[in-house]
Amino acid sequence: MLSFPPLDPVALSLGPFQVRWYALAYVVAFLVGGLYCRRLARNAPPGSPQPKDYDDLLTWIILGTVLGGRIGYVLFYNLPFYLADPLEALYVWHGGMSFHGGLAGVLISAALFARTRNLPLLVLSDTVAQAVPIGLFLGRLANFVNGELYGRVTDVPWSVIFPHAGDAPRHPSQLYEAGLEGLLLFLLLAVLARSPPLRARHGFLAGAFLTGYALARLVVELFREPDPQLGFLWEGVTMGQVLSLPVLVAGLFLMGRTFRRVSREKA
């Protein structure tokens, strides 16, 4: 087993003002993700979203991520607590964000943005989907620094004793997620995007992201400790797995839809 490294969740302190690594992960993810979208769109044909469109989209994405992530956490993970104290739901700095809620917020904000600019939503989604793993990678690393969202008790040689999880060694599930949902998914989408036939199937890359994320999350939930206020829902099933199932269905549907559309066009 490994002792938890001496990591301080606070990156910078200026008197009462503190900047945490988790907040920096969000900032860097949005900036790097926005630049990556611009790079992907630099040779976009007329009628498709141009690099400057992604600059404007970034504000919508930030709002969708924060609002959706917070609302999702309130609804899915701790609703009784927030019903008893509704104002606490506004205190985002107290922690509590849901990726699935943030995903829904991003989808809604992207759809509204595409409609206001008269842009093809699936093309927009394919580009944004390729950048999302950057944020997932940085966010999960920040979860590890915070010593939160740790894994279940285990005796594997790389287990970690987290500072707020008792004396038992646990899976570093945050690093599993950083590797699968972040690094591996980013590389997979980059490889798929290099195929002109797949890139031409608008919606395929977005579907591949949804499918890849859902599969990775379903696997990692087998090692991640459930949220204490929820525990297991039934028979070892977690809330993260339940929320990932519709994401998996949506991803498979999007990918399958692109092949069916190509088949109809050839017919």
Share of the chain above pLDDT 70, in %: 97
At residue 215, what is the residue type?
L
**pLDDT digits 0-9 by tens, 194-215:** 999 998 899 999 999 999 999 9
Q: In this model, does residue 3 exceed pLDDT 60?
A: yes
Q: Are 86 and 70 in contact (CB under 8 A)?
A: no
CB 22, CB 9: distance < 8 Å: yes
2-3 and 160-161 strand pairing: parallel
Is pLDDT at 265 greater than 60 in this prediction? no
Q: Which residues contact 49 (CB under 8 A, 6 or more apart)?
A: 41, 57, 117, 119, 120, 123, 124, 127
Please, are residues 212 and 248 in contact by the beta-carbon 8 Å criterion?
no
CA distance 211 to 246: 10
pTM score: 0.92
- pLDDT score recorded for residue 261: 65
> What is the DSSP track for 4-59?
PP---SEEEEETTEEEEHHHHHHHHHHHHHHHHHHHHTTTPPTTSPPHHHHHHHHH
CA-to-CA distance for 140 and 24, rounded, in angstroms? 12
- Site of tokens 């994401």: 247
pLDDT tens profile 114-146: 999 999 999 999 999 999 999 999 999 999 999
CA atoms within 13 A on the CB side of 232: 9
Residue 24 is which amino acid? Answer: L
Band of pLDDT at residue 246, cut at 50, 70 and 90:
very high
Q: What burial class does residue 66 get, using C-beta atoms within 10 Å of its C-beta: 0-12 exposed, 13-18 middle, 19+ buried?
A: middle
Of 179, 67, 95, the closest CA to residue 133 belongs to: 179
As a whole number of angstroms, the distance between CA 267 and CA 254 comes to 20
Supply φ then ψ for residue 4, to 5 degrees: -65, 130
| Tens digit of each residue's pLDDT (9 = 90 or more) over 39-93 | 999 988 888 899 999 999 999 999 999 999 999 999 999 888 888 888 888 877 7
Residue that is written with structure tokens 């943005």 in the block: 113
pLDDT in tens, 157-204: 999 999 889 899 999 999 999 999 999 999 999 999 999 999 889 999
CA distance 210 to 204: 10
pLDDT digits (tens, 9 = 90+) for 98-111: 999 999 999 999 99
